[in-house]
Structure 1
Amino acid sequence: MIKIFHNPRCSKSRQGLAILEESGKDFEIVKYLEDVPSEKELKDIIALLGISPIDLVRKNESIWKEQYKDKELSDGELVKAMIAHPKLIERPIVISGKKAVIGRPPENIKTIL
């Protein structure tokens, strides 16, 4: 099952959702600001993406700039920060089986459909 971690207020996330809808495939929408992933789930997503936790952080968010920007954080601390403040999680994320992509640009999503 394809899963999209979606923020309806984000234009890139809405574009990603439209790509999934156009694909005709079944998928699940996870509104991650309301249904925050667990620490294990977020670590699993990061592993599927093949990136470091810092690469999933939205560094232009005010909460990042105010609370975390100038700190040396471990990978575990970064994951905890994203769970505490899910706005920090880059979006959209689409998972299909053992593959995952960040939909920036949204066309990236087509690579795993």
Structure 2
Amino acid sequence: MTMVSIIHNPRCSKSRQTLALLEERDCEIQIVEYLKFPLNKSEIEDLLTKLGLSARELMRTKETEYKEQGLANTKLTEEQLIQAIVDTPKLLERPIVLANDKAAIGRPPENVLAIL
């Protein structure tokens, strides 16, 4: 049985679909509700490394908070963008599944199958 973690928002349909997909695969699942228990800086940095993405690529750019905080500013550093995700967890793209020391974003949900 594969042990997986899902960075999950139960109100998000893609997150729920990804969780259902993992349940169908008989995975042992640790659910991390990141809005209730926000990730810290090192956890986000670890995600970025495993995903091979920049902080901006991991952000939900259509969120009001993204615009209100001026995060589209290209002069912002990676460090500043990571801190914005720490301070405003809603900005984190979701769902993210971690398994076998790899990570994948469940958009679409089937993306996560590659790391199981």
TM bucket by the smaller chain?
A: over 0.9
What residue in structure 2 maps to residue 12 of structure 1? 14
The alignment yields a C-alpha RMSD, in angstroms, of 1.0
Cα–Cα, structure 1 residues 96 and 70, in superposed 2: closer, same or farther, change >3 Å? closer
Q: Which moved more, 1:61-70 or 1:51-60?
A: 61-70
TM-score of the superposed pair, with normalisation by structure 1: 0.95
Which 4+ runs in 1 deviate beyond 4 A? none
- Mapped partners of 2:51, 2:43: distance in 1: 12
Deviation by residue 1:61-108 (Cα, 9 ceiling, x = unmatched): 000011124422111111100011101000000000221001011110
- Mapped partners of 1:69, 1:106: distance in 2: 27
Query: Residues 40 and 86 of structure 2 are in contact (CA less than 8 Å); yes or no, is this contact kept in structure 1?
Result: yes
Question: Identity of counterpart residues, as a percentage?
Answer: 48
Matched length: 113
Correspondence for 2:108 among 99, 105, 108 = 105
1:27 counterpart SS class: strand
1:76 counterpart SS class: helix
- Mapped partners of 2:20, 2:109: distance in 1: 9
Gaps of 5+ in 2: none
What residue in structure 2 maps to residue 91 of structure 1? 94
Correspondence for 2:76 among 64, 73, 77 = 73
1:55 counterpart SS class: helix
Gaps of 5+ in 1: none
1:90 counterpart SS class: coil
TM-score of the superposed pair, with normalisation by structure 2: 0.93
1:59 counterpart SS class: coil
